[in-house]
Amino acid sequence: MSPSQPAFTLPRLYSLFFLSIEPLATLAGAYYAYVHPATYLSLTHTQISSTPLSSIPSPLPLSTAIALTQLANLYLAFALNEALVLRSTADLRVWRTLLFGLLVADFGHLWSVNALGMGVYWRIWEWNCMAWGNVGFVYVGALMRMCFLGGVGMGGRGGGKVKE
Is residue 57 domain-resident?
A: yes
Whole-prediction pTM value?
0.84
Is residue 162 domain-resident?
A: no
Is residue 26 domain-resident?
A: yes
For 66-79, the pLDDT digits (tens) are: 999 999 999 999 99
Contacts of residue 5, defined as CB under 8 A and 6 or more positions apart, other chains included, come to: 90
Q: How many CA atoms lie within 13 A of 19 on its CB side?
A: 17
Please count the structural domains in the chain: 1
CA-CA distances (angstroms) from residue 87 to 16, 25, 34, 133? Answer: 12, 17, 26, 24
Q: pLDDT tier at 163 (50, 70, 90 boundaries)? A: very low
Select from 136, 133, 110, 130 the least CA-distant residue to 44: 130
Is residue 154 domain-resident?
A: no
Is residue 46 domain-resident?
A: yes
Is residue 155 domain-resident?
A: no
The residue range of the domain holding 110 is 12-149
For 109-130, the pLDDT digits (tens) are: 999 999 888 999 999 998 999 9
